[in-house]
Amino acid sequence: MDELWNMWKQVREKSNDGKKNIREVNFNLCKTEVASIEDTASNGDPYEAITAIMDLQKRLRTFDMGHDFSEEIKKMLNKIWDDANEKIKLKKVHLREERKRQQEEFKLKKQEWINKTKSALERFTQLVAKNSSIILQAEEQVEQLKEEKNSARSGAYNQRIDSWIEEKEKKISDIKKTNEELQAKIDKMINELKKAGDKESDKDTAKIVSAESENRSEEN
């Protein structure tokens, strides 16, 4: 009887040793996978690490490694989970700060562009006004020359007057062409400022448009 009992104990011990070996092998396999997940959480994508943790947690029950080993793996995964979530939080904070920085930078650049465009618009409008004044003076001079020609007695002097009139009319034509080109730029800048949607810019633009309309009226 004692001999049978001893044989049964030996078989049981061998069986227990076999289970222990299997559990240790499974535990080490899990540890290897956990180490890979930890590396992903620390050096790679924390979202990918979270997904890998959930996948391994689902598969833990398929590993025969006993309660103690299983709990140790769970503790490791919980720590990695916390670390990954903390990294995700920091990443979100960084993204918010970066988005805010980009928005502020965009606003600054937009305002700089608005200021430059308003300055150019005012400068071009003043130039158109100046040119319009020159055109009016030149046109008056042409009329005076025509009147003078009618009363001139010398043919040679008439030719000189014709030359002056031609010169003045050429000057008027060139300035009008310049004003047309400036006006096209002015119209484009006004539309761009309206699209920018800046309230203060709209007020300033309205003043410039008003002045520019007066210039057109004077030309006509």
Q: What are the tens digits of pLDDT across the range 116-174?
A: 999 999 999 999 999 999 999 999 999 998 888 887 777 788 888 889 999 999 999 99
- Look at residue 219 and tell me whether its pLDDT is greater than 60: no
Last residue of a domain, one of 96, 126, 157: 96
Are 65 and 130 in a shared domain?
no
The count of domains in the chain is 2
Last residue of a domain, one of 96, 124, 145: 96
Are 88 and 109 in a shared domain?
no
Q: What are the tens digits of pLDDT across the range 68-100?
A: 888 999 999 999 999 999 999 999 999 999 999
Are 115 and 187 in a shared domain?
yes
For every residue of the chain, which 3-state class applies, written as one string? CHHHHHHHHHHHHHHHHHHHHHHHHHHHHHHHHHHHHHHHHHHCCHHHHHHHHHHHHHHHHHCCCHHHHHHHHHHHHHHHHHHHHHHHHHHHHHHHHHHHHHHHHHHHHHHHHHHHHHHHHHHHHHHHHHHHHHHHHHHHHHHHHHHHHHHCCCHHHHHHHHHHHHHHHHHHHHHHHHHHHHHHHHHHHHHHHHHHCCHHHHHHHHHHHHHHHHHHHHHC
Last residue of a domain, one of 96, 114, 149: 96
Q: What are the tens digits of pLDDT across the range 102-132?
A: 999 999 999 999 999 999 999 999 999 999 9
Residues 6+ apart with CB under 8 A from 24: 65, 69
Q: Which two tokens stand for residue 18?
A: 């076999």
Are 62 and 165 in a shared domain?
no
Cα 36 from Cα 32, distance rounded (Å): 6
Residue 6 included in any domain: no
Are 162 and 204 in a shared domain?
yes
Cα 10 from Cα 8, distance rounded (Å): 5
Are 73 and 133 in a shared domain?
no
* Model pTM above 0.85: no
Are 91 and 115 in a shared domain?
no
Q: What are the tens digits of pLDDT across the range 176-188?
A: 999 999 999 999 9
Q: What are the tens digits of pLDDT across the range 53-67?
A: 999 988 888 877 788
Are 143 and 208 in a shared domain?
yes
**What residues make up the domain containing 38?**
11-96
* 215 touches 168 (CB < 8 A): no
Are 110 and 129 in a shared domain?
yes
Residue 184 included in any domain: yes
Are 53 and 69 in a shared domain?
yes
